[in-house]
Amino acid sequence: MKNNQSFFLAIDCFFEKKREETVRNDQERISSRNTLSIKF
């Protein structure tokens, strides 16, 4: 049971990092789009 718990914890951590990366990429995409709209 203990082993299982740490396994799920690792998966949870992994997906949390993936989500953070996705959010960061989205924010960069949005900010670059905003920069483009400011230029024109």
Range(s) of the domain holding residue 27: 1-40
Task: Name the DSSP letter for residue 1.
Answer: -
Task: Name the DSSP letter for residue 10.
Answer: H
CA angle 13, 1, 3 (to 5 degrees): 50
User: What local confidence, expressed as pLDDT, does residue 1 receive?
Assistant: 60
* Total domains in the fold of the chain: 1
Q: What is the pLDDT of residues 1-40, one digit of tens each?
A: 677 889 999 999 999 999 999 999 998 888 887 776 666 5
Q: Quickly count: other Cβ atoms within 10 Å of residue 28's Cβ.
A: 10
User: What local confidence, expressed as pLDDT, does residue 14 receive?
Assistant: 94
User: What local confidence, expressed as pLDDT, does residue 39 receive?
Assistant: 61
User: What local confidence, expressed as pLDDT, does residue 2 receive?
Assistant: 74
Q: How far is CA 5 from the centre of its chain?
A: 23
pTM of the model: 0.55
